[in-house]
Structure 1
Amino acid sequence: MDTELTTLTARLLAHRVIERGDPLARRALMDDGFRAELDQRLADVGLRLVENPYAEHLAVAMLPELTESVFGSGDAWMNNNMGLPRDGVALLVILWALIVLPKRERQIARVEAGKENQSDMFGAQKPLETGEAVSTGVSEDAVYADFGKALGGRTRFNANLGRLANLGFVVRRNRMIAEGPMLDLLIDYGHLAPRIIEGALSEVLGARREAAQEAAQRNGEEGEGA
Structure 2
Amino acid sequence: MRGRLFHVLSKVAERGEDNSARRERRKEARPGELLDAALQLFVEKGFAATRSEEVAARAGVSKGTLFLYFPSKEELFKAVVRENISGRFAEWTQEFEEFEGSTSEMVRYCMRVWWERIGATRASGITKLMISEASNFPELAAFYRQEVIRPGTELMRRILLRGIERGEFRDLDLDYAVFSIVAPMVFLIMAKHSLGACVAQDTPLDPERYLDAQIDTLLLGLCVRPDAKGARA
- Does TM, normalized by the shorter one, top 0.5? no
Higher helix share: 2
Q: Which has the higher strand share?
A: 1
TM-score bracket for the superposition, by shorter chain length? under 0.3
State TM-score, norm by structure 1: 0.27
